[in-house]
């Protein structure tokens, strides 16, 4: 069943506006009486029947409200070191599909790509990528793509567990860290192409983060976040 997101829900009805209206009426050619799935973007989904459709909105009647079964029990946020070129779109798309609740582009000392003045336009594009990925993967929420933060701006206290992918870690693997026990709110931190400087790792350790190894091979930054997220949710769900 086709799935659409809207927060305009009241009185047993939902109103869908924006680009989705054209998709419903022109591409899918749905009309009054046809059924779709509607999500509020916060984990609740409904069975819906189209009541009426115009060029500006589609109005649906709602039934059978339920919590989305596709959402992970653990809320995982990815802090992704800023990658080169167009890699961020792929990271956002795949990590939303895998189950991340938020993605935070993170500025590190060795980042080659630096945020420009028009980065907000890029962030908005990444947010649209997250929306489409959420629809495709039948998510019950639309993960947030935040603006650029520095490592120092990460509030470690907001999470129960903070894990840092570090290529020089020899003592603890990601699997071992997970089996030692983690909380419901998890932060994963991945460096840029050049990795982390020792001072950055020292700072994160003092803040309470746990460095982990992702294995014997060195992964590209766009691969590391996806691999880390997939293993975390596989082990915990």
Same domain, 94 and 206: yes
**Which of residues 67, 85, 104 is at a domain's end?**
67
Q: Residues 6-25: what's their mean pLDDT?
A: 95
Same domain, 80 and 172: yes
Same domain, 107 and 224: yes
Same domain, 144 and 39: no
pLDDT over 80 at 44, yes or no: yes
Same domain, 162 and 211: yes
Same domain, 32 and 98: no
Q: Return the pLDDT at 116.
A: 80
**Which of residues 67, 85, 100 is at a domain's end?**
67
Q: Return the pLDDT at 51.
A: 97
Same domain, 44 and 142: no
> Which backbone phi and psi does 207 adopt, to 5 degrees?
-80, -15
Q: What CATH number is attached to the domain comprising 52? A: 2.40.240.20
Domain of 14 in residue numbering reads as: 3-67
> Cβ(16)–Cβ(48) under 8 Å?
no
Q: Return the pLDDT at 120.
A: 92
| CA neighbor of 5 nearest in space, from 134, 99, 103 | 134
pLDDT over 90 at 85, yes or no: no
- Work out the pLDDT band at 1, boundaries 50, 70, 90: confident
CA distance 65 to 46: 5
Domain count, the chain: 2
Q: Return the pLDDT at 177.
A: 92
Same domain, 84 and 58: no
pLDDT in tens, 115-170: 888 889 999 999 999 999 999 999 999 999 999 999 999 999 999 999 999 988 88
> Which backbone phi and psi does 152 adopt, to 5 degrees?
-65, -20
Query: Is this prediction's pTM over 0.75?
Result: yes
Same domain, 63 and 81: no
Q: What percent of the chain is predicted at pLDDT more than 70?
A: 100
**Which of residues 45, 67, 89 is at a domain's end?**
67
Same domain, 40 and 83: no
Same domain, 101 and 218: yes
Q: What CATH number is attached to the domain comprising 96? A: 3.40.1280.10
Q: What percent of the chain is predicted at pLDDT more than 90?
A: 85
Tokens standing for 103?
């993605």
Strand-pair category, 9-10 with 13-16? antiparallel
């Amino acid at each position: 069943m086709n799935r659409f997101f809207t927060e305009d829900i009241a009185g047993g009805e939902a109103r869908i506006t924006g680009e989705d209206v054209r998709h419903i009426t022109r591409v899918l050619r749905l009309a009054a009486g046809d059924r779709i799935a509607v999500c509020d973007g916060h984990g609740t989904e409904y069975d819906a029947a189209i009541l009426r459709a115009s060029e500006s909105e589609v109005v649906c009647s709602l039934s059978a409200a339920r919590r989305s079964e596709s959402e992970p029990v653990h809320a995982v946020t990815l802090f992704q070191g800023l990658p080169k070129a167009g890699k961020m779109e792929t990271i956002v798309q795949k990590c939303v599909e895998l189950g991340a609740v938020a993605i935070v582009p993170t500025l590190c000392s060795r980042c080659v790509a630096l945020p420009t003045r028009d980065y907000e336009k890029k962030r908005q594009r990444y947010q649209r990528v997250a929306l489409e990925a959420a629809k495709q993967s039948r998510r019950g929420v639309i993960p947030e793509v935040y603006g650029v933060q520095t490592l120092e701006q990460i509030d470690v206290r907001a999470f129960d567990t903070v894990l840092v992918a570090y290529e020089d870690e020899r003592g603890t693997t990601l699997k071992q860290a997970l089996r030692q026990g983690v909380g419901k709110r998890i932060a994963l931190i991945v460096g840029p192409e050049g990795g982390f400087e020792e001072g950055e790792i020292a700072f994160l350790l003092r803040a309470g983060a746990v460095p982990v190894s992702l294995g014997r091979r060195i992964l590209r930054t766009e691969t590391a976040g996806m691999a880390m997220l997939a293993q975390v949710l596989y082990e915990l769900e």
